[in-house]
Amino acid sequence: MAEQNGIKKPDLHALPTISDRMTFIYLEHCKVSRENGAVTATDLDGTVYIPAAAITVLLLGPGTDVSHRAMELIGDMGISVIWVGEHGVRYYAHGRALNSHSTMLEKQAKLFSNVRSHLNVVRKMYEMRFEDEDTSGLTLQQLRGREGSRMRKIYREQAKKWNVPWDGRRYDAEDFSSGDPVNQALSAGNVCLYGLASAVITALGCSVGLGFIHVGHEFSFAYDIADLYKAEITIPLAFELGSQDSPDLPDVMRRRVRTVFSQTHLIERMVKDVKYLLNDTQEQDDIDAVYLWDDLKDHVEYGISYGKHEDDEAEEW
Q: At what angle do helices 140-162 and 234-242 cross, to 10 degrees?
A: 30
pTM (global) more than 0.75? no
Q: How confident is the model at residue 98 (pLDDT cuts 50, 70, 90)?
A: low
Question: For residue 1, what pLDDT is reported?
Answer: 45
**82-96 residue pLDDT tens:** 888 876 667 787 776
Output the CA torsion sign for 199, 172, 238, 86: positive
Instruction: State the Cα angle at 136 between 279 and 146, rounded to 5°.
Output: 105
More confident residue, 164 or 21: 164
| Domain limits, the chain | 12-95, 103-277
Indicate the fold that domain 12-95 takes in CATH. Answer: Ribosomal Protein L15; Chain: K; domain 2 (3.100.10)
Range 103-277 classified under CATH 1.20.120.920: yes
311, pLDDT greater than 50: no
Give percent above pLDDT 90 in the chain.
42
Indicate the average pLDDT of the chain. Answer: 81
Question: For residue 136, what pLDDT is reported?
Answer: 80
Q: How far is CA 249 from CA 29, 65, 209, 231, in A?
A: 18, 25, 30, 19
Q: How far is CA 2 from CA 5, 104, 298, in A?
A: 9, 41, 41
Nearest to 206 by CA among 310, 305, 308, 107: 107
- For the segment 107-136, the average pLDDT, to the nearest whole number, is 90
117, pLDDT greater than 90: yes
**164-196 residue pLDDT tens:** 999 999 877 777 777 889 999 999 999 999 988
232, pLDDT greater than 70: yes
- Contacts of 215-221 with CB under 8 Å at 24 or more apart are 219/91, 219/194, 221/108, 221/197
Helix (H) or strand (E) holding 5: none
State how far the Cα of 187 lies from the Cα of 235, in Å rounded to an integer.
10
202, pLDDT greater than 70: yes
18, pLDDT greater than 70: no
**234-259 residue pLDDT tens:** 999 999 999 997 888 888 998 999 89
**47-58 residue pLDDT tens:** 999 888 778 788
270, pLDDT greater than 80: yes
